[in-house]
Amino acid sequence: MKANRTIDPWDAHRAIEKGEGAVLVDVRTPVEYRALHAEGAVNIPLDAIGTDTLGSIGNGDAPVYLICRTGSRARMAFDKLTGAGSENVLVVEGGTEAWDEAQLLVVRGKKAVSLERQVRVSTGSIVLIGSFLAFFVHPWFWVVPAFIGSGLIFSGVTDTCGMGMVLARMPWNKVADTACTS
């Protein structure tokens, strides 16, 4: 795994304010972006991000600052882009939460349930239902919570989340205009 290059939210803000073509790209779902995002950020969801999408929004030589809620998805986008040859990509340390805590300008919109919270609710629900089914219907339903537990271990080891990737594509995580900008 490549070492991540990071930038402090204030340093990213100052670089963008200079007007030299630096771009702030929010890689969260459109619904999460709509709820809260750094002012001036362009929304390109993680599953849609690539060197071709970056080329359409900015100067090829200018830095691209990746931001998500806390930094995890931005690091995934960083790995994807640098693996494809992009060299001018940095991850904003601490994500939108750090940006907001630094009292930099943010745009607040319609509230949304974060993707991480959706994953926790879905995971808990599946484990609970599988456990009840194993206890009351048939013991073989123990496979359901075991499968979810295995997925959680895999997610923790690889720092990826299959359920999160599936939930990000659900209709409730989409908005009419998926190429949001502020």
Q: Does the annotation mark 161 as catalytic?
A: no
Long-range CB pairs of 141-150, under 8 A, 24+ apart, other chains included: 148/123
Amino acid identity of 57? I
- The catalytic position among 31, 44, 68, 163 is 68
Burial of residue 137 (number of CB atoms within 10 Å: 0-12, 13-18, 19+)? exposed
Angle between helices 143-158 and 115-136 (to 10 degrees): 150
Are the beta carbons of 85 and 59 closer than 8 angstroms? Answer: no
Q: Which residues are catalytic?
A: 68
